[in-house]
Amino acid sequence: MEIRDDVRFKGINPFDKKIWLSSPTMHGEEQKWINDAFEKNWITTAGENINVIEKEVADYIGRKCAVALSCGTAALHLAIKLAAEKLYGMPKAGHGSLEGKKVFCSDMTFDATLNGVLYENGEPIFIDTEYDSWNMDPVALEKAFEMYPEVKLIVVAHLYGSPAKVEEIRKIADEHGALIIEDAAESFGATVNGVQTGCFGDYSIISFNGNKIITGSSGGMLLCDDEEDANKIRKWSTQSREEAPWYQHEELGYNYRMSNIIAGVVRGQLPHLEEHIANKMRIYERYKDGLKDLPIKMNPFLPNTEPNYWLSCLLIDKEAMCETVRGEKKAIYNFESGKSCPTEILEALSAFNTEGRPVWKPMHMQPLYRMHEFITSTGTGRARSNAYIKEKGMVDVGEDIFTRGLCLPSDNKMSVEQQNVIIDIICKCFS
């Protein structure tokens, strides 16, 4: 199927159904374990499904303990809280565990990665991205420690299923006596030198959100190697109930435990992880081949890693970008022959009932965080303008990737024919 030039982006839809960015791919076993929970009447935050997936995920990744929680964000919050209390002790009543403390955080990520820092009243300092993997730049992290040697906590994310330079980051953390929270929400199944992501943090998390490579519709897990720490997380996630015949509470708790129903969905999904990764890889390779003659690059992977290919993304070459301006909520561009921009491509895909998305807008560009410190390999600043960047000779890698990058439809249920149409649409944006 080809898209004719005379129907360029006029809303003619060649697809019977919408093509999604990344929707759940179900197999049938999920319903079996949901029904099992109903039949055994474990319609609560305890049950066999939870016990099974905690063991299976811990074994697969290579951690001693896994705690099933309501979402990846909850896992991040409790991981950050636990790390902070290990570092700084129990907080005073009414204060967060990170009160007055700075934390180094990935800049180019979803805000859930660092929201737990705010929940605990800490101050995130954003570490710029590097082009090799689109993840935290170890050079910028070293500079951050030179500026703030007292910092003892790092929150690092693996973007779009591509592992960060996490071995380098781990070495830097160890040299400075810092703990790492590893956000592997998007990278379940990806490896670094044969080691699963989720193994490199003192505390690590994965997500089972509806768009992830393995889904429970929601849900997440905290991973660690200390049973005492895991039990602490289980206690906090069930309202910190003490062992008493009545409801006894001696510390703050949360309603963060995973449902046994959600765990049933995850239990049915887990056997298909390798299959999902293989399908995602084929999608990535078809894009790479089909778009090879365009002035673009696909999202990169480090040579010592095996990504899970969760999302295929592209980055338009600088000289092939048409004139474009982005405001806070809208973007405009001028059509230029032979050039394009993320907004034009996303509008074109949308006109054909196909979902793509911009890449993550870096945290230092978000209105909520603009006055927080942002550290690059070439400088630092707050609420910086383009003039400031030019004057100081700084390179803002995350902002550049955000300006030129976008996430492509990467749904495992997308057919080869449908993907060929999408490739044709993208090609015509540059014609």
Using CA atoms, how far apart are residues 153 and 273, in angstroms rounded to an integer?
Answer: 31
Using CA atoms, how far apart are residues 133 and 158, in angstroms rounded to an integer?
Answer: 9
Q: What is each CA distance from 122 to 139, 253, 349, in whole angstroms?
A: 23, 19, 40
142-145: Cβ within 8 A, 24+ apart: 142/172, 143/375, 143/376, 143/377, 143/380, 144/104, 144/375, 145/104, 145/172, 145/176
Asked if 177 contacts 202 with a C-beta cutoff of 8 angstroms, the reply is no
Question: What is the token pair recorded at 170?
Answer: 């781990």
Residue from 102, 212, 280, 428 carrying the catalytic annotation: 212
Q: How many residues does the structure list for the chain?
A: 431
**Which residue is associated with the tokens 């992501």?**
197
Nearest to 262 by CA among 46, 18, 414, 65: 46
Asked if 376 contacts 283 with a C-beta cutoff of 8 angstroms, the reply is no
Using CA atoms, how far apart are residues 274 and 280, in angstroms rounded to an integer?
Answer: 10
Using CA atoms, how far apart are residues 425 and 95, in angstroms rounded to an integer?
Answer: 53
Asked if 187 contacts 162 with a C-beta cutoff of 8 angstroms, the reply is yes
Sign of CA dihedral 374, 139, 401, 124: negative
Phi and psi of 204, rounded to 5°? Answer: -130, 160
CA atoms within 13 A on the CB side of 240: 8
Respond yes or no: is residue 102 known to be catalytic: no
Region class of 375: left (phi > 0), else alpha (psi between -120 and 50), else beta: beta
Asked if 388 contacts 292 with a C-beta cutoff of 8 angstroms, the reply is no
Residues with active-site annotation = 212
